[in-house]
A and B are shown apart, each in its own frame.
Chain A
Amino acid sequence: DVKVTQSSRYLVKRTGEKVFLECVQDMDHENMFWYRQDPGLGLRLIYFSYDVKMKEKGDIPEGYSVSREKKERFSLILESASTNQTSMYLCASSLPPGQGARGYTFGSGTRLTVV
């Protein structure tokens, strides 16, 4: 009954590496989001997408990019990983307003450590 799947639960990468975090949802949701969660800072929005090939910056997009080539898949890319990108990364999806239940469905998260 898994609906939002993040490809890795734990990742360890080296500084300067290009890192891909993958997220797939099977609910035919238009909207997809990438957040990071850090202690004391809550959930901070990195990027979101409301349609295939569409993307918008969130509150902290620096150092990240995204790709949405298919409706069900939303990828987060760390162009050159740095230690301050060590975090829990959360993917979520939702329907547009008026098209069903509101709110997000989250994936299980990816704990990324950059060394």
Chain B
Amino acid sequence: DQQVKQNSPSLSVQEGRISILNCDYTNSMFDYFLWYKKYPAEGPTFLISISSIKDKNEDGRFTVFLNKSAKHLSLHIVPSQPGDSAVYFCAAGGGGQGGSEKLVFGKGTKLTVNP
């Protein structure tokens, strides 16, 4: 049973517009959420994170919003650039995983930003 879901396998937006990537989770014990970006043939790289005590975190063009009551988070990219084209993974931690802190990942959303 998926604890972290990214329901959109793909998303296409125009350069300069906003990209919104969504993620839902089921485990209310999660207390930390992250977004990773992955280019083909490379490992994922950390993009932005948010603690469950916050509802928003911003870093340049990237903002993550957390709605705990809805168990939903979203990543906003404004403005979108062609170099943002990649697969984005949502991840959650703290769900009672113990000392090893295994992150639970969504299946990813492939973002394509068209020039």
- Enumerate A30-89 residues with CB–CB distance to B below 8 Å: 31, 33, 37, 40-43, 45, 48, 50, 56, 58, 88
- Interface residues in B16-69 by Cβ distance below 8 A to A read 32, 34, 36, 38, 41-46, 49
Interface residues on B, range: 20 to 34
A106 adjacent to B44 (CB under 8 Å):
yes
A102 with B93: CB separation less than 8 A: yes
How many Å from the CB of B101 to the closest CB on chain A? 5
Chain B residues near A56 (CB-CB < 8 A): 100
Q: Would B49 and A103 count as touching, CB distance under 8 A?
A: yes
Tell me if B9 is interfacial: C-beta within 8 Å of chain A. Answer: yes
Of B43, B101, B102, the contact of A106 (CB 8 Å cutoff): B43
* A90-110 interface bits toward B, Cβ cutoff 8 Å, 1 = contact, 0 = none: 101010110000111111110
Contact residues in A for B49 (Cβ distance below 8 Å): 102-103
Residues of A in contact with B, size category? 20 to 34
Assess whether B91 is interfacial by the CB under 8 Å rule.
yes
State A111–B41 Cα separation when bound (angstroms).
Answer: 7
Chain A nearest CB from B94 CB (Å) reads 7
Q: In the complex where A42-B89, A50-B99, A103-B93 touch, is A90 in contact with B105 (Cβ < 8 A)?
A: no
Interface core residue of B43, B93, B107 (most chain A CB under 10 Å) = B43
Kindly list chain A residues whose C-beta atoms are within 8 Å of the C-beta of B99: 50, 96-97
State A88–B91 Cα separation when bound (angstroms).
Answer: 19
Instruction: Assess whether B93 is in contact with A109, with CB atoms less than 8 Å apart.
Output: no
Using Cβ atoms and an 8 Å threshold, which residues of chain B touch A90? 43-44
The 8 Å CB contact of B103, one of A4, A40, A103, is A103
| Structural contact, A106 and B45, CB atoms closer than 8 A | yes
Which of B36, B42, B108 interacts with A109 by CB under 8 Å? B42
With A33-B102, A48-B102, A102-B32 given, can you name 18 additional A-B contacts, CB distance below 8 Å? A31-B100, A31-B101, A40-B107, A41-B107, A42-B105, A42-B106, A42-B107, A43-B44, A50-B100, A56-B100, A88-B41, A96-B101, A97-B94, A97-B99, A102-B49, A103-B103, A109-B43, A111-B41
